[in-house]
Structure 1
């Protein structure tokens, strides 16, 4: 029998990825503390990118009416994956990926939970501002057709009026689990094409399955502010935002961030 000389540290199969995430957490905290305006701008850019690609997806789906529904949904999901690829590769600040990053940082005691939660809220606020800016600019153009506004309204109704809090919570967990698994895997690659592929995979699953992404949803509501305000039941919008936020945190922060932080080191391992 060959003697086993492996140690616990040898089981930390993606420790380099965790170290990369921890490095990002420290940079996020420095930027948030010392250059708050730059952090806000990077968060706005995420919301802007996410929303402009949402409009692209709406245009694609409405112009393919009559085709097979599954094909339309798949092409819409593939087109929307461009948004997260652009956000990650431009190092913009998106709430849903920060759920994973900041939870890993909390596990390794690089950041307190109160501070992490404040950063999350600020990030989300400016993500929403990015969506509002996009639709505010677009309102004065003919880009959003009547068919696209109808599709937007139906999408919002499905996420607010026609669903329960539990369904939103569950679908939000699944959504951010897939997104952050994709990001986690992408960190292990150096070249942009490999990163883009794995990031896109997680997004395609969540969009095709109709899962709940709180920032994507906030962008939809920003569109309704400008194009069909009277059709929105804002109490149901609040229901969606609250439970999508919680579910996204569970899916990305706990099911991915906390799990892989635990699998790749002890809480005090950075302080020994």
Structure 2
């Protein structure tokens, strides 16, 4: 029996074409949303920041209430608790800056969106995410949810991320954080079942939180909490250092290491009609 040699073309090696197509669809939707309904777009970003902040509070509660248990166990429980945030954000189609790094870099590679539009979306999204964190912690001040132990844990976490960290360490850890987050989202895009999507979205978050990597939106939520609960412990220059280099690192991790790499692996720029 003679076996024929399979005939394949270069396009057969483009294993994530459907993902790239979905990413470009998301880019087009974001561009239309920002251009025609900017207030609604910012509201979506506020929802994402709000969800991220409320799950940060949940994570702090888990860590403090399990105090005395194994340090590793406490950290993994806190990471799992926080991972719910990204699942909710993706499933509700809220707008999170760090996932936009991946989507919009794909759009830039295929020239379906301009750099000026990308910058506009980044600014609107980041502002909305920050507002969401402030709203959440502002509402928390009217409750007793944030216990003294949680405030202490918050202060310790923020100090480690700002005063005790160098700009290089922040940037490298930010690269790792958004790499894992966006790899999780990229894999989830291939899943049809909601449970499978949720699992792969969550797993990247569990890794970044457990390893104490840097996520610029999560960090700004923590900084908002500090402004309400322990402003005297804030070092503004160190907060600025963290925001700037976490932003850069997150863009590299999600935009370059995931978005650009997989866009390049799935065809040439001219394979997509150039946006006008």
Question: TM-score over 0.5 for the alignment?
Answer: yes
Any unmatched runs of 5+ in structure 2? none
Aligned to 2:166: 164
Aligned to 1:233: 235
Aligned to 2:134: 132
Choose 110-119 or 22-31, whichever is displaced more: 110-119
What is the CA distance between 1:3 and its match in structure 2? 3.9
Please give the secondary structure, in 1, of the residue aligned with 2:159: helix
Choose 207-216 or 104-113, whichever is displaced more: 104-113
Q: How does 1:68-217 map to 2 (within 5 A)?
A: 68-217=70-219
Please give the secondary structure, in 2, of the residue aligned with 1:268: helix
Q: TM-score, normalised by structure 2?
A: 0.97
Please give the secondary structure, in 2, of the residue aligned with 1:265: coil
Backbone CA RMSD of aligned residues: 1.0
What is the CA distance between 1:62 and its match in structure 2? 0.4
CA distance in 2, matches of 1:3, 1:58: 58
- Tell me, yes or no, if the aligned pair for 2:173 and 2:249 is still in contact at 8 Å: yes
The C-alpha deviation readout for 1:201-249, integer Å capped at 9, x for no partner, is 1000000000000000000000011000110001000000000000000
Say whether 1:51 aligns with 2:57.
no
The number of equivalent residue pairs is: 272
Say whether 1:65 aligns with 2:64.
no
Aligned to 1:249: 251
CA distance in 1, matches of 2:141, 2:215: 24
- Tell me, yes or no, if the aligned pair for 2:112 and 2:273 is still in contact at 8 Å: no
Q: TM-score, normalised by structure 1?
A: 0.98
What is the CA distance between 1:156 and its match in structure 2? 0.3
CA distance in 2, matches of 1:260, 1:139: 44
CA distance in 2, matches of 1:57, 1:67: 15
Please give the secondary structure, in 1, of the residue aligned with 2:269: coil
CA distance in 2, matches of 1:28, 1:170: 28
